[in-house]
Amino acid sequence: MTLEQEINQSNTYYLSHDVAVIHKKPTPIQIVNVDYPKRSAAVIKEAYFKQASTTDYNGVYRGFYIDFDVKETQNKTAFPLHNFHQHQIDHMRQCIAHGGICFALIKFVFLDQIYLLKASDLFSYWDAMENDDGRKSIPLADVQKLGTEIKYKIQPLIPYLSAVDQLINEIS
């Protein structure tokens, strides 16, 4: 199961237990060509992205707007910053400027470790990279130091809102 599927499962749990309302954002596409082999089985043959997507998820938890992206890496020693795009960083900056809570959930696949990394910490590495005075990745040791590890559970599968509680406590 991918990290997004695991987050979707966790969000379904949060919604059904009235804990939070968080949804995956659909990616806007322009459909160009559709094949109709049967009336009930249309197949999209060609489509294009209408615009660059922002982050993967948004919603409301404890009265706070949250917006976050989910990333996976096969790398065992660092998280490559090329997994993000400038428009995603800009979007998170804008959300924070308007009082939102933004972060990234990062999974190191081979280590089976998931971390919540605050957007402000991500920005530090991104800005250093953009100014050519920083690495093009965030070392695992830094993610472990700055982020909050989220351990798998049964329900919800990935209880990331406990880490969001810590972010809320920091700003309250």
Q: Is 69 annotated as a binding residue?
A: yes
Instruction: Determine whether 9 is exposed, middle or buried from the number of CB atoms within 10 Å of its CB (0-12, 13-18, 19+).
Output: middle
Q: Is 54 annotated as a binding residue?
A: yes
Q: Is 56 annotated as a binding residue?
A: yes
Q: Is 113 annotated as a binding residue?
A: no
From the annotation, which residues make up the binding site for Mg(2+)? 54, 56, 69, 88
From the annotation, which residues make up the binding site? 54, 56, 69, 88
